[in-house]
Amino acid sequence: MRRAQNITAISHVLDWRDPERWFSDIDRYAGGLLNSTLKRRLRISKPSGCWSDNLSWLPDPDIETDFRELFLGFYSRAKGFHGCRPVSVRSYYERGLLGQNRRIIEETFRQLFSDIDGSLLETAIEQMTHRGHDENGKIYFVSDDTYLVEECGHYLIQGSEYLIALAASLCDQRFSLEDFRLRLRTIGIPTIFEVDIPFSLVPEAQVAAACRSILAEWGKRALNSDRGGADGLVWIPRSDLSSEYIQAHWHPKKIPDPFFAHGVYIARSTQCDACDSRTYKSDGT
């Protein structure tokens, strides 16, 4: 096995939004592996493509394992972005980012819809129990904040996906014309957290996906083929994250609204109970 190089004591953070930076970093930690000799071997073999989901185009199957070890010897953390709609942003700085707790979400659901017959609420919860169990304890991050706003705006506009599912289940019972999902917009504030996640807390499969994407990009450039851009990454840490990993937070003003075709959601406020924190930053709107 190829051992990680002792490059520096500096803690390197993988920021997927800057592909030119992470691509240029390859030479710093894996230049001895992905070298000119390997490029020549690759060009001689003339693979039809360099794919991240199938690395059979690599001349040597051990390259993936060796590269992953070098990668983890260089990067200590991955930058991720979490979108939510908290009532108190300050609580994140006090308690950290906690995995989904279905019991707390279900209690929030009962309180928000306390004007509705309790049996209807319990029916909605029962219908969504499997989903609550599947997502319990998890917290999701994406590698690009722009993607989070443009493609995942429902987390910012209406909060927890499980809470949205409970409200939708209430709609499915068809006892009212109200779209109960819209009521979720009355609490909290759309918030993005920028977090540097330790790779020690990232599941191996997610680390492997990142490494395969980087290898695929290297292969495409080595062959001077159309790069087409690397797909975004998803990080789902194995545990809660303490507040020390939070780098910043902000509140988008305008968010594409997936519940209304071509609609744009306008946030009522871009200030919260933690916006005096050193980690707050404006979204530029």
The predicted structure's pLDDT at residue 231: 86
Asked if pLDDT for residue 8 goes beyond 50, the answer is no
What band does 129 get if pLDDT is binned at 50, 70 and 90? confident
Q: Which of 26-35, 40-49, 125-134 has the highest mean pLDDT?
A: 26-35
Note the pLDDT of residue 227.
Answer: 63
Q: What does the buried/exposed string (b/e) look like for 107-138 if buried means 16 or more CB atoms within 10 Å of the residue's CB?
A: ebbbebbeebeeeebeebbebbeeebeebeee
Does 153 have pLDDT greater than 90?
A: yes
Classify residue 250 as exposed, middle or buried by CB count within 10 Å of its CB (0-12, 13-18, 19+).
Answer: buried
Sign of CA dihedral 66, 139, 272, 155: positive
- Determine the pLDDT at residue 200: 97
DSSP for 72-141 reads HHHEEEEEEEEEE--S-SHHHHHH-BPPP-HHHHHHHHHHHTTTS-HHHHHHHHHHTHHHHHHHTT---E
> Global pTM?
0.89
Which residues, other chains included, contact 108 with Cβ-Cβ below 8 Å and sequence gap of 6+? Answer: 163
Averaged pLDDT for residues 11-25:
95
Kindly state the average pLDDT of the residues 205-218. 97
Q: What's the pLDDT at 67?
A: 98
DSSP annotation of 280 = B
- Reported as a pLDDT band with limits 50, 70 and 90, residue 1 is very low
User: pLDDT class for 179, splitting at 50, 70, 90?
Assistant: very high
Q: 248 pLDDT band (50/70/90 cuts)?
A: very high
Q: Is the pLDDT of residue 285 over 70?
A: no
Please say whether the beta carbons of 233 and 210 come within 8 A. yes
**Percentage of the residues of the chain whose pLDDT score is greater than 70:** 91
3-class state of residue 254 by DSSP: strand
With contact defined as beta carbons under 8 Å apart, do 271 and 219 qualify? no
pLDDT (mean) for 56-65: 95
Return the structure tokens found at 203.
């599941």
At 283 the pLDDT is 59
Task: Answer whether residue 5 shows pLDDT above 60.
Answer: no
pLDDT at residue 210 greater than cutoff 90: yes
Within a 10 A sphere around the Cβ of 163, how many other Cβ atoms?
Answer: 22
Task: Give CA–CA dist 181/164, Å, rounded.
Answer: 6
Q: Measured between alpha carbons, how far is 216 from 225 in angstroms, rounded to an integer? A: 11
Task: Read off the pLDDT band of 230 (50, 70, 90).
Answer: confident
Q: Sorting pLDDT into bands at 50, 70 and 90, what band is 280?
A: low
Range list of H helices, the chain = 19-24, 26-30, 36-45, 62-74, 90-95, 102-112, 118-127, 129-135, 145-151, 153-158, 161-172, 204-222
The residue-averaged pLDDT of 149-175 equals 94
DSSP bridge pairs for 249: 193, 280
